[in-house]
Chains A and B, each alone.
Chain A
Amino acid sequence: MEKKEMRAVYAETLIDLARENPDIVVLDADLMKANGTAAFAKAFPDRAVDCGVAEANMVGVASGLSAAGKIPFASTFACFASRRAYDQFFLSANYARLNVKLVGTDPGVTAKYNGGTHMPFEDLALMRVIPGLTIVEPSDPTSLAGFVRLAAAHRGCVYMRMPRTAANVLYGAAETFAFGKAKVLREGGDAAIVALGSVMVNEALAAAEALAAEGTHAAVIDALSLKPLDLDTLLRYARSTGRVVTCENAQIAGGLGGAVAEAILEAGVAAKFARIGIRDEFGEVGTVEYLIERYGITAAHIAAAVRSLT
């Protein structure tokens, strides 16, 4: 499968946007090289702001830039974007109804060898409770470019999670995306696997493939937009299949699993339900392959969860 480096796509898209819109500015906190935003700084030195190792300040500054009319895209590792800068993002950006785009890189297990301090499993739950915030986790380079463009056009704050390294290309260049819209990547009438982010969507596709060989046909839904959630699609598949498994590279409490469970129960849909994700544990060091096994979030775990819903 074709792969593209996510951070390169992020920077290229911002450079294109910046050519069209003079208000786009890019901030980082000593991670421009790591996050790919160095390419933007090279193209637009005057519109790139390195705030140094000072993430809370960066998000406060981004809020100020927004208040004065700019469209700031601020990036840092997702652990710092969420935990370190949370109050600034919550109050200065969101409560003030400003227009700050915060991009957290290395989500969940993609922090790999950076281990527990740098492995954000909690960012989705933290962000979900900020009123009115839009939260997306693109699953591939095409959806990443699409959502960066949507974020720039959207008036309001956005939190986006993004692995830095290469990810499989799942969508053709002509595909269009929208906040609050999931994508059905694979049809199936026996179960619905709802996955968020590149790691989990690829695992979900592999799980569906394995299940198909056994005669169980699971639909794979790429959630993409955690908030707003695509209730129409999710509830339709919950009703028609009666079996839902959510998959996230994050704590199951408060993230995608929580959001889908709430939606299904509140809609009164009688579907069997299971969650794949991190179960109240801290991060560790390792490769992505090791870590998804360690935390029980592989394709095999997803397939087993689908089988268990009888």
Chain B
Amino acid sequence: MEMHELETAAREIRRSIVATIARAKGGHMGASLSEVDILTALFFGFMRCDPAAPEDPERDRFILSKGHGSEGLYCSLAHRGYFPQAMLDDYLGHDSPLTIHPTRHTPGVEMNTGALGHGFSNAVGVALSAKKSGRRFRTFVLTGDGELQEGTNWEAAMAAAHFKLGNLVVIVDNNRLQLADTVENTMRIEPLGRKFEAFGFEVRGVDGHSIGELLGVLGGLDYEGERPHAIIAHTVKGRGVSFMEGVPEWHHRIPTGEEAARALEELSK
């Protein structure tokens, strides 16, 4: 895909997120908008994956550890063709597999997440399995920055380095906000890059809203080596909608009809 096509895809995904959350009157707007460019780079520009063969044993794996950003994942998967976009209309419906936190009932979803602090460990297991069975697929896991306060992440980081998982990439959606306040005010996680380095990771920082930069970094990693990778993606919570960007309330706020219309309008430019 050309860069402008990737950017168009990201914009379409953002529009779907806004529409899906507004329709269902449930979801996590800020978290989902924050991660879109990362998901677009992975699913549309980088990962070896085929929506027609979501169970292919050789596929690259993606795990959304910050499972509350499910709408971002669902909309990306739908736009990529894993399931019909019409399924998004029934998001949070009683018989829909699209629950507020993702589960393996949905094609393209690798793990059940949403309780924070699970996905990174899961990714270590998946990557370890690839290594043990001589498969060349790569495993990508996206965590929140607030999520990194859960201690299991650091147990996972230790294990990833110990098992020499060069085939594992942890991407941090580093939007500096968590549920109700900044990460800095709530529980400081800095210096993040140095922490990962100390655990044995190769660390890169990137503009998490530049698909080009993301692809450049992803394309330059040594997946056959022994050091696991951490990409600290600098992002803005609520990215793409001016009145949501960086506003803590949009973690969980549901837009009114008028707000949704304004957001969609902004995202159509």
Interface residues of A (CB under 8 A from B): 30-34, 38, 50-54, 56-57, 79-80, 84, 113-118, 284-286, 290, 294
Indicate whether B92 reaches chain A with its CB closer than 8 angstroms.
yes
Indicate whether B100 reaches chain A with its CB closer than 8 angstroms.
yes
**Known pairs A34-B179, A51-B187; A290 contacts B94 (CB<8 A):** yes
**Known pairs A31-B179, A79-B115, A285-B99; A117 contacts B151 (CB<8 A):** no
Judge whether A53 and B178 touch: CB under 8 Å: yes
A127 to chain B, nearest CB (A): 18
Judge whether B101 and A114 touch: CB under 8 Å: yes
Judge whether B112 and A30 touch: CB under 8 Å: no
Judge whether A30 and B151 touch: CB under 8 Å: no
Which chain A positions have C-beta within 8 A of B116?
53
Judge whether A50 and B186 touch: CB under 8 Å: yes
| 10 CB-based A-B contacts, threshold 8 Å | A34-B179, A79-B115, A84-B117, A114-B101, A114-B114, A115-B114, A285-B99, A285-B100, A290-B94, A294-B94
Indicate whether B210 reaches chain A with its CB closer than 8 angstroms.
no
Which chain B positions have C-beta within 8 A of A53?
116-117, 146-147, 149-150, 178-179, 187
Which chain B positions have C-beta within 8 A of A33?
179-180
Provide the main secondary structure of the chain B interface: loop
Indicate whether B228 reaches chain A with its CB closer than 8 angstroms.
no
Interface residues of B (CB under 8 A from A): 26, 67, 92, 94, 99-101, 103, 112-117, 146-147, 149-151, 178-180, 186-187
CB within 8 A of B101: which of A30, A54, A80, A117? A117
Which of A34, A52, A57, A294 neighbours the largest number of chain B CB atoms within 10 Å of its CB? A52
CB closest chain-B residue, reference A31: B179
- How far does the alpha carbon of A54 sit from the alpha carbon of B114 in the complex, in Å? 14
Which 4 residue pairs across A and B have the least CB separation, nearest first?
A52-B187, A52-B149, A117-B114, A33-B180
Judge whether A32 and B180 touch: CB under 8 Å: yes
Which of A32, A80, A116 neighbours the largest number of chain B CB atoms within 10 Å of its CB? A116
A248 to chain B, nearest CB (A): 22
Judge whether B179 and A30 touch: CB under 8 Å: yes
Which chain B positions have C-beta within 8 A of A116?
99, 101, 103, 112
- How far does the alpha carbon of A84 sit from the alpha carbon of B147 in the complex, in Å? 14
Judge whether B115 and A118 touch: CB under 8 Å: yes
Judge whether A113 and B179 touch: CB under 8 Å: no
Which chain B positions have C-beta within 8 A of A290?
94
- How far does the alpha carbon of A116 sit from the alpha carbon of B97 in the complex, in Å? 12
Judge whether A113 and B100 touch: CB under 8 Å: yes
Which of A33, A54, A79 neighbours the largest number of chain B CB atoms within 10 Å of its CB? A54
- How far does the alpha carbon of A225 sit from the alpha carbon of B151 in the complex, in Å? 33
CB closest chain-A residue, reference B102: A117
Which chain B positions have C-beta within 8 A of A57?
151
Judge whether A84 and B115 touch: CB under 8 Å: yes
- How far does the alpha carbon of A245 sit from the alpha carbon of B25 in the complex, in Å? 37
B126 to chain A, nearest CB (A): 19
Which chain B positions have C-beta within 8 A of A52?
146, 149, 178, 186-187
4 further A-B pairs in the complex, CB-CB below 8 A; given A30-B146, A53-B146, A116-B99: A116-B112, A118-B114, A285-B99, A294-B94
